[in-house]
Amino acid sequence: MSVRMVDRNSMRGGAGISAVLLLLGYVFSWRWMAAVILVALAIGAFLGLRYSPLGTAFRFGKRKFNLQIPVEPEEEPPPRFAQLVGTIFLAGATIGFYGMHNSGLGWTLTLIVALLQGLLATTGICVGCEVYNFGRRMSRSAA
């Protein structure tokens, strides 16, 4: 069975977009921004990264501004898992904002996602991907 491949640079670009939008949400108290990014991450996590609005926005910008960013293939499951984790955190943030009326919880979870997305965008380190790969190695060694 072959594993679908995705462009690592699209993932980094999409992460940069989401990090900036989440930080703008924090600065301007746009709590709804967590829900918007939640939906974008959920689409990538559940439908596949080729449908991710964040990756699509990055690819559009790359073409529009004729950016010569090379395609770096990587397996899809690790970044898809990372987007699932971000989805869960932002779901918690949205519940914190709107269900519990707890802005502290909402912004804490939102800023954790913004930090991790910013880390991916600036350094290429995907913490969720590393957790996925660690779990895969542990399950192989246990077998």
Reply yes or no on whether the pLDDT at 1 is more than 70. Answer: no
- Written as one letter, the residue type at 38 is L
- Written as one letter, the residue type at 81 is F
How many domains does one find in the chain? 1
Conformational region of residue 74, where left means phi above 0, alpha means psi within -120 to 50, and beta covers everything else? beta
- The residue among 64 and 130 whose pLDDT is bigger is 130
Q: What is the span of the domain harbouring residue 120? A: 5-142
User: pLDDT digits over 12-51, tens only?
Assistant: 999 999 999 999 999 999 999 999 999 999 999 999 999 9
User: pLDDT digits over 108-125, tens only?
Assistant: 999 999 999 999 999 999
User: In this structure, are residues 98 and 13 in contact, taking their beta carbons and an 8 Å threshold?
Assistant: no
Question: What was the pLDDT predicted at 141?
Answer: 87
pTM: 0.94
Cα 24 to Cα 32, 53, 111, 139, distances in angstroms: 11, 18, 11, 39
Question: What was the pLDDT predicted at 2?
Answer: 83
